[in-house]
Amino acid sequence: LWKEERHQEAVADLWAYIASYYKEKRPDLSPSIASFDLLNEPCTSYENPGDGTDPDIAYPVYDRIYKAIRATGDQHVITIEGMWSYDSFRDPKDYGWTNILHETHMYNWDHEKIPYWLFNDYHELKNWGHDYDVPMFIGEFTFFEDGEAWKKQLSFYQKRGYSWAMWTYKAAVTGWWTTSWSILTQKLDLRGGKRKANLKEGTYEELKEAAEKCASRFCQKSNTYNYILDFLAE
């Protein structure tokens, strides 16, 4: 994407189509859309971030997509993601952008070595997330099965004025995977005997059955649900 002209053109065309669709064909749904999130986690991997985390490379592509959307007349909030730190962002005013939201995903993968108080202090030290007077959204996070960490980190978000959302509302897990990644969890099998559907090779019937099993009645409220309730109750 970052180096291929045809890929950049395809993404810009796709977003222009999406913006036009909700503006012209489904204006009834348009008010329900909070934001257009241009690219989810624009990186190769956590260990090897790649070009998408370099603002000098990523922002010209973002600018192209932004202009394609605005050319349709659409004025939805546009979300720019920075991976894996807040210093991946640039000032929207430098590009003439308006109605922008910054998003990042916050994971302390080394939480067993780096305590959350130090994790927070590091963010405070860099004043991350308060640059350019742009709202910040934490679009993914988890603090695993540490109830106290949930309280402290959500308090940190509140203090900083960040909006936040869980990684996902509903998830399916196998084996001994933690349930702290979603509000509702479909626990397939503790021993991993049942597997998730193979989206690439599964038959129509297999995918249909898997989708039906994602209904809330087949899920359990995760530990995350209780952690958030405890925080909100204080």
Summarised one tens digit per residue, pLDDT across range 133-158 is 899 999 988 888 888 888 888 998 89
Percent of the chain with pLDDT over 70: 85
Do 74 and 182 share a structural domain?
A: no
Q: Is the pLDDT of residue 52 over 90?
A: no
Residue 232 resides in a domain? no
Closest CA to 189 of 208, 166, 215, 213: 213
Residue 228 resides in a domain? no
Do 208 and 157 share a structural domain?
A: no
pLDDT of residue 80: 94
Summarize the confidence of residues 60-89 as an average pLDDT: 91
Residue 100 resides in a domain? yes
| Burial status of residue 201 (CB atoms within 10 A of its CB: 0-12, 13-18, 19 or more) | exposed
Instruction: Kindly tell me the sign of the dihedral angle through the C-alpha atoms of 202, 204, 205, 210.
Output: positive
- The number of beta carbons lying within 10 Å of the beta carbon of residue 211 is 10
Q: Is the pLDDT of residue 193 over 60?
A: no
Do 197 and 161 share a structural domain?
A: no
pLDDT of residue 76: 97
Q: Is the pLDDT of residue 166 over 70?
A: yes
Structural contact between residues 20 and 58, judged by C-beta atoms closer than 8 angstroms: no
Cis amide prior to 177 (ω within 30 degrees): no
Any idea what the CATH number is for the domain that residue 48 is in?
3.20.20.80
pLDDT digits (tens, 9 = 90+) for 99-110: 999 998 888 777
Residue 183 to residue 180: CA distance in whole angstroms:
8
pLDDT digits (tens, 9 = 90+) for 8-45: 999 999 999 999 999 999 999 999 999 999 999 887 55
Do 78 and 178 share a structural domain?
A: no
Residue with the larger pLDDT of the pair 181 and 32: 32
In which band, very low, low, confident or very high, does the pLDDT at 186 lie, cut at 50, 70 and 90?
A: confident
Residue 183 resides in a domain? yes
Residue 130 to residue 139: CA distance in whole angstroms:
16
pLDDT digits (tens, 9 = 90+) for 205-218: 989 988 888 888 88
* Distant-in-sequence, close-in-space partners of 186: CB < 8 Å, separation ≥ 6: 170, 171, 172, 173, 213, 214, 218, 219, 220
Closest CA to 224 of 190, 186, 181: 181
In which band, very low, low, confident or very high, does the pLDDT at 194 lie, cut at 50, 70 and 90?
A: low
Do 154 and 122 share a structural domain?
A: yes
* Distant-in-sequence, close-in-space partners of 199: CB < 8 Å, separation ≥ 6: 207
Residue 230 resides in a domain? no
Structural contact between residues 68 and 12, judged by C-beta atoms closer than 8 angstroms: yes
Do 175 and 101 share a structural domain?
A: no
Residue 42 to residue 29: CA distance in whole angstroms:
27
Q: Is the pLDDT of residue 53 over 90?
A: no
> What pTM was estimated for this model as a whole?
0.83
Q: What's the structural domain count of the chain?
A: 2
pLDDT of residue 65: 98
Q: Name the DSSP class of 113.
A: T
Q: Which domain holds residue 175?
A: 170-222
Do 194 and 102 share a structural domain?
A: no
Do 30 and 146 share a structural domain?
A: yes
Do 100 and 206 share a structural domain?
A: no
